[in-house]
Amino acid sequence: MKKVLLIALLFLSLPIMAQNVQLHYDFGRSLYNDLDKTAESNGRAVLTTTVEMFRPDKFGSTFFFVDMDYNKGVSGAYWEISRELNFWLQSKMNWLSVHVEYNGGLNNVVGSYDDAFLAGLTYSGHSKDYSKTWSLSVMYKHIADAVDMKSEDAEANFQITGVWGISIADGWGSFSGFVDFWRECRPWQNTTHIFLAEPQLWLNLNKISGWEDVKLSVGAEVELSNNFVAKGFYAIPTLAVKWTF
C-alpha cells in the first residue's frame, strides 16, 4: 500500500517535473510468439509512455524516469530515481561523483516488483560544447526480498550502467540511450546475470523553418536484452514520438 501511494503521488507531480514525455509502440508481441499470451493481462504491452527528468545543480544532478505500460488499460508502472552527489565540482576531481538510486514498480500480473537500492561511483564527461555527454556507474545493488534457494548471497548484487547522449547533424538528430549489466538471482529462469540496452535515435522537428516552437521529435528505440524479458536474447524495436518541455 505504501508503494502504491508513493507512485500515485509521483504521477500527480509529473506534469510539473517532466523534461520530456515519450510514447512508444512496441513490436515485441509481433516478433516473438512467447511474448504474445492469450490472456488479456499477460501479454507484452503494446504501448508504453515514458516521462524523464534530468536536473543539474551545484551539488550534482537528479534524474528519474517513469514507464507506464498499456495492454487494454494500464498493465504496469516502473520508475527509477537517482542522484549524483558532487560537492567538488570546482576541483580537478569533478568527473567523479557518488551515485545513489532506487528502482521499483507494480504490475497487474506479477504484483509489486522487488525494491532495489543502489549505491556506487559515477565517472562522467562531455565535449566542450556539450553536444556529447556520457557517464559510467559502478554500483552495489541490494534487491529487497531477493530469493535464491541455493545461494546465501542472493541480496548481494552489482550493476554497471553506461549512459550517453549525442547531438548529430547540427541538432537535427540525437542518439541517446543506456546500457545496464547486473547480477540478480532468478531461479525461475535459472540465471543470475542480466543485460539490457535501449539505444534511441530521434529526428527533432523543431529544426524545420517555422517549427521552432514545436518541440516534437519522432524516432525509434531498440530494446536489446539477455535474460530480462525472458531467458535468452531479445531485440525488440519501437516506433516513438517525444515532446520536450
Contact 104, 89 (CB under 8 A): no
Average pLDDT over residues 223-238: 94
Which residue type does 118 have? L
Contact 81, 64 (CB under 8 A): yes
Is the whole-model pTM more than 0.95? no
What CATH number corresponds to the domain at position 173?
2.40.230.20
Distance CA 185, CA 128 (A): 42
Cα→Cα distances 30→37, 45, 70, 235, 237, Å = 11, 11, 16, 12, 10
Domains identified in the chain, total number: 1
Q: What is the tens place of the pLDDT at every residue in 189-221?
A: 888 999 999 999 999 999 999 999 999 999 999
- CB neighbours of 54 closer than 8 A, spacing ≥ 6? 19, 61, 62, 63
Percent share of the chain, pLDDT over 90: 69
Cα→Cα distances 227→163, 182, 187, 235, Å = 20, 11, 12, 12
Q: What is the tens place of the pLDDT at every residue in 153-165?
A: 566 799 999 999 9
The confidence score (pLDDT) of residue 113 equals 76
Average pLDDT over residues 144-155: 58
Helix (H, G, I), strand (E, B) or coil at 4: helix
Distance CA 68, CA 19 (A): 16
Distance CA 70, CA 92 (A): 46
DSSP letters of 62-81? EEEEEEEEESSSEEEEEEEE
Looking at the DSSP bridge assignments, the partners of residue 78 are 67, 105
Helix (H, G, I), strand (E, B) or coil at 5: helix
The b/e string for 73-110 (b: 16+ C-beta within 10 A; e otherwise) is eebbbbbbbbbbebeeeeeeeeeebebebebbbbeeee
The confidence score (pLDDT) of residue 108 equals 76
Domain region containing 158: 2-244
Q: What is the tens place of the pLDDT at every residue in 98-108?
A: 999 999 998 87
Residue 181: pLDDT band with limits 50, 70, 90: very high
